[in-house]
Amino acid sequence: MTTFRHLLDIDDLSATELRSIVDLASVPATGLEPLLAGQGVACYFEKPSARTRNSTEMAVVQLGGHPVYITRDEIGIGSRESLPDVTRTLACYHRVITARVYDHELLEQMADLDVAPVVNLLSDGAHPLQAIADVLTIEGEFGPIAEQTVTYVGDSNNVTRSLALAVGMLGGTVRVSSPPGHRFGPVDLDRLAAAGVEIEYVDRPEDAVKGTDVVYTDTWVSMGQEGERSERLQAFEGYSVDEQLMAVNPGAVFLHCLPAHRNEEATDGVLDGSQSRIWAQAANRLHAARAALHWICSVNPGGPIDAPTPGLGPPVGT
């Protein structure tokens, strides 16, 4: 039986917990108890990152802890050492294990070992810390998410899944416009439904954005899909967020988790235009990460520093 709470996707949280994390994100670091004081956080990355690595590491520092960046080549899960052995090793030193992985199942396997709380820093399935930052950004712009409509245009992917869960669980309306073959399947729709979230699919982006508050897009070629690039560019023709699409709804703001593949899923004119809020969104990653880490420490008290392993004797130097 699992005793640790994890954050692998937004629906690991109740709507109340999600609300409290979003609210906590507005509290500056100086107003928070440094729940990571003197403790480590493992930051395992199988893929590149600019926003997630930097915001997570700085959030750990703001909570008094020490982030340790670990690459796949260095730790060699499955080649140098087994996943259980690596996970148990990291749990000897770190209060929380955070990880960006290709296969979401790897996070589930880490979590199932029940040796430390695990936080998803992006997998092929989900990107929960991004979604928390997105809600924060939308509420900063317009007020309560429950009164907003968020329209996602493009590939129904990891970012879409977490965004739909976060917006929907907090009572907002979620619309998605994706070409056939790139929409959520029954498993995803059932999972969203289990969290009380229903998404509305609208075929044409120009219909989908009518009356919306937010237009959101992400790359058509996620990390790990580079081999499908040419088919994907073809499949998403007509789904680019350009100035003409944003002009359908001049009151809407534009969001993108970044990195952007400029002039593919969104044009320079939109990314850098007056409706764009991408830099507020990127900045909010830090506040979202701090709040999420604070929450995971609150619900998983203790950690290796507080619990010397029986049989190993006192730490050297005491």
The catalytic residue positions are: 100, 127, 130, 218, 257, 285
Using CB under 6 A as the binding rule, the residues of this chain from 255 to 284 that contact ligand CP are: 257-259
Residue 50 sits in the site that holds ligand CP (CB under 6 A): yes
Please, what's the b/e burial string for 105-118 (b: 16 or more CB within 10 A of its CB; e: otherwise)?
ebbeebbebebbbb
Give the nearer residue to ligand NVA in terms of CB position, either 95 or 127.
127
Chosen from ligand CP, ligand NVA, none, partner binding at 212 (C-beta under 5 to 8 Å by type): none
CB within 8 A of 314, min separation 6: which ones?
A: 308
Segment interacting with ligand CP (CB under 6 A) among 46-54, 78-86, 190-198, 245-253: 46-54
Beta strand spans in 135-241 (E): 149-153, 173-177, 199-201, 214-217
Question: Least distance in Å: CB of 158 to ligand NVA?
Answer: 5
CB 173 within 8 A of CB 196: no
Q: Which of 164, 255, 257, 271 binds ligand NVA (CB under 6 A)?
A: 257
- Name the residue type at position 74: E
Residues 193-232, mask of contacts with ligand NVA (x by CB under 6 A): -------------------------xx--xx---------
Segment interacting with ligand NVA (CB under 6 A) among 135-143, 155-163, 184-192, 295-303: 155-163
CB 165 within 8 A of CB 192: yes
Give the nearer residue to ligand NVA in terms of CB position, either 134 or 218.
218
What are the distances in angstroms from CA 248 to CA 139, 153, 165, 302? Answer: 22, 14, 26, 52
CB 274 within 8 A of CB 64: no
Give the nearer residue to ligand CP in terms of CB position, either 46 or 202.
46
d(CA 59, CA 289): 6
Question: Least distance in Å: CB of 165 to ligand CP?
Answer: 16
d(CA 271, CA 58): 26
Catalog residues that contact ligand NVA under the rule CB under 6 A: 122, 157-159, 218-219, 222-223, 257
List interacting residues with ligand CP (CB under 6 A). 49-52, 122, 130, 257-259
